[in-house]
Structure 1
Amino acid sequence: MSSTVGTTRELLLSRIRDVQDYPKPGVVFKDITPLLADPKAFTALTEALAQLCAKHGATKIVGLEARGFILAAPVAIRAGMGFIPIRKAGKLPGATLSQTYELEYGSAEIELHAEDLAAGDRVMVIDDVLATGGTAEASLELIRRAGAEVAGVAVLMELGFLNGRDKLEPALRGAPLEALITV
């Protein structure tokens, strides 16, 4: 690991706050709001993610609702690429593509405007955290159904103990998964 990468990682880690027993007892929530409030840390995060988009030849950036929007929009600006939101079902007007995915108890659905992606687009998915991988997996399916290619997935933080990478691996179909921090 280069010293710049190590320095960025340490800066980002120092701005992520652990919140015990949230949202329920026994859970340690990783709160990124202190990182977002620190302009030096937020800029470093934006730059690191933009570099990953360039490295993997992305032409457009998708952000996953809701915290993925906070990260993906400035990354798209920094990288000089378009930003496309993937939203919870029923939040986008007009024609959409939708994808249902399984949760621990039940299911959820996400949507994408059908016309926002096309053949030839290389799309990088940006999100704050990779947990179990369900939302990311559904987003990859939507991107491909829209006719675009997946350039990769980049997240601020991967919760390694939840094994989301293993679940997501088949859906990646060889595209890279990059996490700036793994805990």
Structure 2
Amino acid sequence: MNLKKYIRSIPDYPKKGILFRDITTLIKDENAFAETINQIIERSKKYNFTKIAAIESRGFVFASAISYILKKPFIMLRKKNKLPADVYSVDFELEYGTATIEVHKDSINEKDQVLIIDDLIATGGTAEAAAKLVEISKGKVAAFIFVINLFDLKGSDNLINKKYNVENLIEFPGH
């Protein structure tokens, strides 16, 4: 199945000059969504991991299904002030601003190998922040799996250059 045909492209969203790759058209099709989950699971088999983490919010859509199927704990990496207990925080740059993500301090420990799943990688700022959260928690990043890689924005390349394992299901230009 060609998953690319299920991705809608929206120009100038959320601001002028950004070509937004919308996954809502993929997840509303039960066959495309199932195929996406199956492909992520297949790619995850080459990595040893104890937990699955995802980045708010679209990453949750994929990671929760995979967590359920693989019977692995699911860790939410959330926007600032969304988690109620003690957290670790990392600030980072987005292609269109700045943000902070957090994880509960008791979510990940030194025994954990964490698979990080998200819908899309652009410049890699959010993914790098997610890796820092895992590492601050004393865990290790087993790999990243992204549904979409915006290849010309070099986020995947930057993660690979930092010695992270990276998988992408489909690729698009970012502009």
Normalising by structure 1, what TM-score? 0.87
1:90 aligns with 2:81: yes
1:13 aligns with 2:13: no
Q: What displacement does 1:122 show?
A: 1.0
Q: Which residue in the other structure is 2:165 paired with?
A: 176
How high is the sequence identity, in percent, across the aligned residues? 38
For residue 116 of structure 1, give the secondary structure of its aligned residue in structure 2: coil
1:37 aligns with 2:14: no
Classify 1:105/1:80 alpha carbon distance in 2 versus 1 (closer, same or farther; 3 Å).
closer
Q: Which residue in the other structure is 1:73 paired with?
A: 64
Q: What displacement does 1:150 show?
A: 0.8
Unaligned runs of 5+ in 2: none
| Aligned-pair Cα RMSD in Å | 1.6
Determine if contact 1:54/1:79 at 8 Å carries over to the other structure: no
Determine if contact 1:60/1:81 at 8 Å carries over to the other structure: yes
After TM superposition, the structure 1 = structure 2 runs for residues 105-116 of structure 1, keeping only pairs within 5 Å, are 107-116=98-107
- Tell me the amino acid that sits aligned with residue 165 of structure 2: P
Classify 1:166/1:57 alpha carbon distance in 2 versus 1 (closer, same or farther; 3 Å).
same
Q: Number of residues paired by the alignment?
A: 172
1:122 aligns with 2:113: yes
After TM superposition, the structure 1 = structure 2 runs for residues 142-181 of structure 1, keeping only pairs within 5 Å, are 142-171=133-162, 173=163, 175-181=164-170
Instruction: Work out the CA distance in 2 between the residues paired with 1:47 and 1:105.
Output: 31
Greater percentage in helix: 1
Determine if contact 1:123/1:149 at 8 Å carries over to the other structure: yes
For residue 154 of structure 1, give the secondary structure of its aligned residue in structure 2: strand
Higher relative contact order (CA 8 A, sep 6+): 2
Deviates more, 1:110-119 or 1:44-53: 44-53
Q: What displacement does 1:106 show?
A: 5.2
Q: What displacement does 1:105 show?
A: 6.3
Determine if contact 2:86/2:105 at 8 Å carries over to the other structure: yes
Q: Which residue in the other structure is 2:49 paired with?
A: 58
Deviant stretches of 4+, over 6 Å? none
Q: What displacement does 1:124 show?
A: 0.6
Instruction: Work out the CA distance in 2 between the residues paired with 1:29 and 1:23.
Output: 7
Q: Which residue in the other structure is 2:40 paired with?
A: 49
Instruction: Work out the CA distance in 2 between the residues paired with 1:85 and 1:51.
Output: 22
